[in-house]
Structure 1
Amino acid sequence: MSNFPKLIPAFTTNAPSPMAPPSQSQPSAPKTPSYAPNQIIP
């Protein structure tokens, strides 16, 4: 039971963190596709 309550808070702390990166990941999304084709060329 001690593990469950600890996992819940961990997820809650990770929830706000992942939510912030997604916002920055959107602008980076266009750069990800550029990297994929670049890696295929070499």
Structure 2
Amino acid sequence: MGENIAYRIRVGNYRIIYNLYESELFIEIIRVRHRKDVYR
């Protein structure tokens, strides 16, 4: 696949970490965790 760019977004009380492959228009979800557990 092409070059990936790692992102993280907050959705409610959850943090979603994902890679975005722009050249293929593809999103790969890496992890979904509650915000209180993400940074431990």
Q: What TM-score comes out, normalization by structure 2 length? A: 0.20
Relative to its length, the structure with more strand (as a share) is 2
> More helix by proportion, 1 or 2?
1
By relative contact order (CA 8 Å, sep 6+), the higher-ranking structure is: 2
